[in-house]
Structure 1
Amino acid sequence: MKIVEFLRPDAVVGEIAGQSGPAVLAELCQPIAAGLKLEPQRLVDILVEREKLGSTGIGDGVAIPHGKVPGLPALVASFGRSRAGVDFRAIDGKPTHLFFTLFAPENSAGAHLKALARISRLFKNAGFRAAILEAKDAAEIYRLIETEDGRY
């Protein structure tokens, strides 16, 4: 499974404007909702409910908010960068800069877990995280993800 199978270039936000967790989630749900013709708030609500179980801020400046959507045909994702960082209640207590939002069909536990593991593995690389933070725009971020994704 490759990340580029469920992350479209137009779902990459080069610089997130939101300065709070809910604002970031709303911003990241916009491109997904537009692509699927869904109400963005429905997606935000799913992520907010998941965050109530515990923060998806995995540390090292990375968060992977995720949830399951009834009727969704396949995995879909968005990615956003906040150079300033956002308090996302990450496990290491540090600001979060890189947000990878993932939605999965309701009955897709295997694919959902494989995608989360792949995203997590990719973003464990400190050099890759630094390159994403330094990228000039969303197109360059997508190319970096595509290149790194192809190495595994």
Structure 2
Amino acid sequence: MSLIKTDHIFLKENLANQEEVMHFLAAKATALGLSNDENKVYEKLLEREAEGTTGMMDGFAIPHAKDASIKEADIVIVSLAKAVDWHSLDGSPTEFIIALFIPDSEAGTTHLKLLSNVARLLMHQEVTKGLKEATTPAAIAALLNSKLAEN
């Protein structure tokens, strides 16, 4: 089974700021059946961000929510039509979001493994370049699934 699903990837979304991105992620998590409580997911995304930025380097962010309303660990990916400020580690605006949704019951296990695997992938220029150049959800899913399978 592939971890990254094409119907969980949204390209060139017109979202103006980090708050709009978080609302979009929470809405998609609910629409995709990952959670039954959009407001709770939104709250958890904001709570995690308040602990410290999830904005990484080179235009990427890895926001994540852990909550009992989340049914199974999953990932939603969003690329933005225009980069937004995310208070990233390198100060650059964010244009590519890889959001993790984790059930409370898997908070210390699946969460940490997924987060470290995704963060590790983003350290490789061929991955970040490939993600930014991809023009279809299928291309993004294929790239990430092949790299995640190597770990």
Q: TM-score range by the shorter chain?
A: 0.7 to 0.9
Q: Please say if 1:17 is aligned against 2:14.
A: yes
Runs of 4+ in structure 1 deviating by more than 6 angstroms, as ranges, are none
Aligned length in residues = 149
> Identity over the aligned pairs, expressed in percent?
26
What CA distance in whole angstroms lies between the structure 1 residues aligned with 2:61 and 2:76? 12
* Aligned residues of 1:62 and 1:97 also touching (Cα < 8 A): yes
Residue of structure 2 in register with 1:140 after alignment: 139
Gaps of 5+ in 2: none
- Contact kept, 8 Å, 1:29 with 1:78, in 2: the verdict is no
Give the deviation of 1:83 after TM superposition.
5.0
Question: CA separation of 1:43/1:71 partners in 2, compared to 1, >3 Å: closer, same or farther?
Answer: closer
For structure 1, list consecutive stretches of 5 or more residues without a partner in the other structure.
none
Q: Residues 60 and 94 of structure 2 are in contact (CA less than 8 Å); yes or no, is this contact kept in structure 1? A: yes
State the shift of 1:20 in Å: 0.3
Q: Does 1:101 align with 2:99?
A: yes
- Cα deviations by residue, 1:14-61 (Å, 9 ceiling, x for unpaired): 122112001112222333211226232321121011111111112222
Q: Which amino acid aligns with 2:95?
A: H
Q: List per-residue Cα deviations over 1:63-93 (Å, max 9, x = no partner).
A: 1101211143321220111253111111111
Report the RMSD for the aligned CA atoms in angstroms.
Answer: 1.9
Q: Aligned residue for 1:38?
A: 36
Counterpart of 1:130 in structure 2 is 129
Contact 2:49/2:63 (CA < 8 Å) preserved in 1?
Answer: yes
8 Å Cα contact 1:16/1:27 also seen in 2: no
